[in-house]
Chains A and B, each alone.
Chain A
Amino acid sequence: MSARGLGEPQRHDHGAYHSRPASEVELRARALEALLVEKGLLSSDAIDTVVEHYERDLGPRNGARVVARAWVDPAYRERLLDDGTEAIAELGFGGAEGDNMVVAANTPEVHNVIVCTLCSCYPWPVLGLPPTWYKSLPYRARMVAEPRQVLREFGLELADDVEVRVWDSSAEVRYLVLPMRPGGTEGWAEERLAEIVTRDCMIGTALPTVQAGT
Chain B
Amino acid sequence: MSEVPGLAAVDTALAGHAPLPRDNGELVFEEPWQGRALGMGVLVLERTGTSWAEFRSHLVAAIERRQPRAGESAATTYYAAWLDALEHLLGERGLS
A residues with a Cβ closer than 8 A to B are 1-10, 23, 25-26, 28-30, 32-33, 35-36, 39, 41-42, 46-51, 53-55, 57-58, 92, 95-97, 124, 129
- Complex Cα distance, B39 from A57, in Å, reads 14
Q: Is the interface of B mostly helix, strand, loop or mixed?
A: helix
Q: Chain B residue with minimal CB distance to A55?
A: B35
CB distance from B92 to the nearest CB of A (A): 14
User: 9 tightest CB-CB pairs across the interface, nearest first?
Assistant: A7-B35, A6-B35, A8-B32, A50-B39, A29-B33, A47-B39, A57-B7, A26-B33, A54-B7
What 4 new A-B contacts, CB under 8 Å, besides A1-B26, A25-B33?
A4-B29, A5-B32, A47-B40, A129-B35
Report the nearest B residue to A22, measured CB to CB: B33
Chain A nearest CB from B69 CB (Å) reads 9
Q: Is B55 an interface residue (CB 8 A)?
A: no
Distance between Cα atoms of A106 and B60 in the complex (Å) = 48
Name A's interface SS: helix
Q: Which of B53-90 contact A (CB under 8 A)?
A: 76, 79-80, 83, 86-87, 90
Specify the chain B residue showing the minimal Cβ separation from A62. Answer: B26
Residues of B at the A interface (CB closer than 8 Å) are 1, 4, 6-8, 24, 26-40, 42-44, 47-48, 76, 79-80, 83, 86-87, 90, 95-96
The reply to whether B44 and A36 form a contact with Cβ atoms under 8 Å apart is yes
Nearest Cβ distance between residue B60 and chain A, in whole angstroms? 19
Q: How far is the CA of A3 from the CA of B38 in the complex (A)?
A: 14
Given A2-B26, A28-B83, does the pair A54, B35 have CB atoms closer than 8 Å?
Answer: yes
**Would you list 8 pairs from A and B whose C-beta atoms are within 8 A, ordered by A residue?**
A1-B26, A2-B27, A25-B83, A30-B33, A32-B37, A35-B90, A41-B95, A57-B6
* Chain A residue nearest to B10 in the complex (CB): A54
Cβ contacts under 8 Å, A7 to chain B: 29, 32-36, 38-39
- List B contacts of A23 (CB < 8 A): 76
Q: Which residues of A contact B44 (CB under 8 A)?
A: 36, 41-42
**Within the complex, which residue of B26, B34, B38, B47 is in contact with A41, where a contact is CB–CB below 8 Å?**
B47
**Residues of the A chain whose Cβ atoms lie less than 8 Å from the Cβ of B48:** 41
